[in-house]
Amino acid sequence: MKRVSVLGSTGSIGVNTLDLVSRAPGDYEVVALTGGANVVLLAEQARRHDAALAVTAHEDRLDELRAALSGTGIEAAAGDAALCDAARRPADWIMSAIVGAAGLPPGLAALEQGTTLALANKESLVCAGPLMMARAAFHGATILPVDSEHSAVFQALVGEDISSVERLIITASGGAFRDWPLERLSQATAAEAATHPNWDMGQRITIDSASLFNKALELIEAKEFFGFAPSKIEALVHPESLMHALVGFNDGALMAHVGPPDMRHAIGYALHWPARRSIPVERLDLARIGQLTFRAPDEARYPALRLARAVMEEGGLSGAVFNAAKESALDAFIEGRIGFLDMSRVVEEVLTRLSDERLSVAAFDLDTILATDHLARTAAADIIGTLQR
């Protein structure tokens, strides 16, 4: 029996993870499940999977969670410390699928037990890539990518000599607005941005797909995970979202990963790795699909990519600044306080304002990263105040 925990079990990735787990119930023992405000779903998942522990991030929801689990013997807890305790419960495989920088402390706590961490939470690598990788190496933990593009690269690299890799290409659908005229983008609403042409994902990542901030995070994630120079990592717009990534080798070969746009593929690869097991996803009929198309990303339309390049070059704490500013700008856009194009303006301005702080920091530990995250959110709030409509 493989002992599994799912951090962020009530979200899009969490639900898909439990879907795969439930298909082979005899193979898994569910240890801890964690969620946010949706304690009804969390309790229902914990009962269905007979989890040992359920944790909500919200302390004021603990009574509700306890009531929903009464008589089951399933332990209930709440709050940030409890999330990290859940990540420390012995498990063989832990899914990190909390959204945002909030996933960093539990992700680091999970690595301390030297386990396998399936990493959907890209923000933790963006904020703290070197810390995550060092923590994993120190404790003998394995990090497996779950982001579809990074899983695709990981799969294309199996058996290859890393020194023969010339470039990584990760694809982007272009999101909800890829065919909108540039002039219309300033008027785009959160509801319009939250519909993805190909993938069914959480609201935040779907809006980030429309602005290409998701791809920006993924460029940084690729640099931190695979350790390639920024100049070797490219983004390519591919509207069909069927080719997830390509790896280019020194003999000119490109190894491409093609698969249906269904996160259960990448989750399942990480769950069963190093084996492959049958997964109930669509089998692509390429003759019916007919063609796959590609185009270069338009940087005027997507300033997020340019900002990501600067962050990749600078390294250090710039990733934590970038991510926190992006999260604040996204909140403001969702709440209708700023426009769609203002999000990249906020992030760029925060990066400029905090450049001194970034350069003067000597330590790269969790406290410094969280303090930087806080500084960047404060700066973003200030800038958002000046832009507010």
The reply to whether 147 sits near Mg ion by the rule CB under 5 A is yes
Could you say which residues in the range 52-91 bind ligand NAD, by CB under 6 A? 57, 83
Least CB distance from residue 216 to Mg ion, whole Å?
Answer: 11
Using the contact rule CB under 6 A, the part of the chain among 63-71, 93-101, 322-330, 343-351 near ligand NAD is 93-101
Q: Which candidate, 81, 100, 94, places its Cα nearest to that of 9?
A: 94
Q: What burial letters (b/e) apply to 202-239, b meaning 16+ CB within 10 Å?
A: bbbbbbbbbbbbbbbbbbbbbbbbbebebeebbbbbbb
182, exposed or middle or buried, with CB in 10 Å at 0-12, 13-18, 19+?
exposed
**Looking at 46, 64, 89, 147, which residue binds ligand NAD (CB under 6 A)?**
147
Least CB distance from residue 132 to ligand NAD, whole Å?
Answer: 13
Using the contact rule CB under 5 A, the part of the chain among 74-82, 146-154, 271-279, 345-353 near Mg ion is 146-154
Could you say which residues in the range 323-382 bind ligand NAD, by CB under 6 A? none
Side-by-side strand order, sheet with 28-35: 75-78, 53-56, 28-35, 2-7, 93-96, 116-119, 142-145
Instruction: Give the CB-nearest residue to Mg ion.
Output: 147
Least CB distance from residue 344 to Mg ion, whole Å?
Answer: 19
- Phi, psi dihedral angles at 116 (to 5 degrees): -100, 125
**Looking at 3, 23, 36, 232, which residue binds ligand NAD (CB under 6 A)?**
36
Using the contact rule CB under 6 A, the part of the chain among 201-209, 229-237, 249-257, 298-306 near ligand NAD is 201-209
The reply to whether 121 sits near ligand NAD by the rule CB under 6 A is yes
Strand partners, 28: 2
**The two structure tokens encoding residue 366:** 């969790």
Is the distance from CB of 115 to CB of 87 less than 8 angstroms? Answer: no
The reply to whether 123 sits near ligand NAD by the rule CB under 6 A is yes
The binder of 14, among ligand NAD, Mg ion, none, by C-beta within 5 to 8 A per type, is ligand NAD
- Alpha-carbon dihedral of residues 373, 376, 381, 387, nearest 10 degrees? -140
Q: What gap in Å lies between CA 297 and CA 333, rounded to an integer?
A: 23
Q: What gap in Å lies between CA 76 and CA 209, rounded to an integer?
A: 35
Q: Which residues are annotated as a binding site?
A: 10-13, 36, 38, 121-123, 147-149, 173, 196, 202, 209, 214-215, 218
Residues near ligand NAD, by CB under 6 A: 8-14, 35-36, 38, 57, 83, 97-99, 102, 120-123, 147, 199, 201-202, 204-205, 263
